[in-house]
Amino acid sequence: MNIQIFGKSKCFDTKKAQRYFKERRVKFQDIDVARYGMSQGELRSVKSAVGGLAPLLDEKSREYEALHIAYLERTEDIERALLENPGLFRTPIVRNGKKATVGYQPDVWKEWEQNG
């Protein structure tokens, strides 16, 4: 498994995801998404794995309200906003190759472990 955890330093679910993989001795790459963001290619890959942009948006974030994301209609505009303002991401985003999850989802991660 090649695990990447895109999270925020103060996110409780990110800490739980990190603990989940540490307890199982699964190596992972930890990326502070609020600080470093996500590349356009990573965003495309995660978007297709989770079924669109909606699951990736943190509607409770300050940036969501400040940037009026709810009123953006074009997917390209929302993608640009996510790339320019990584605080908009709902975390943790856990990526395993072409597979990805948003939020704390240990049941899915367990399947990844069992299926190699």
Query: Over the stretch 96-109, which tens digit does the pLDDT of each residue have?
Result: 999 999 999 999 99
Per-residue pLDDT at 49: 95
Handedness of CA 67, 68, 69, 71 (dihedral sign): negative
Query: Over the stretch 43-66, which tens digit does the pLDDT of each residue have?
Result: 999 999 999 999 999 999 889 999
Output the DSSP codes for the chain: --EEEEE-TT-HHHHHHHHHHHHTT--EEEEEHHHH---HHHHHHHHHHHTSSGGGB-TTSHHHHHTTGGG---HHHHHHHHHH-GGGB-S-EEEETTEEEES--HHHHHHHHHT-
Whole-prediction pTM value? 0.92
Q: Measured at the alpha carbon of residue 102, what is the angle toward residues 88 and 95, in degrees to the nearest 5? A: 105
| Domains of the chain in sequence order | 3-100 (3.40.30.10)
Mean pLDDT (whole number) for 72-85? 92
Please say whether the beta carbons of 47 and 53 come within 8 A: yes
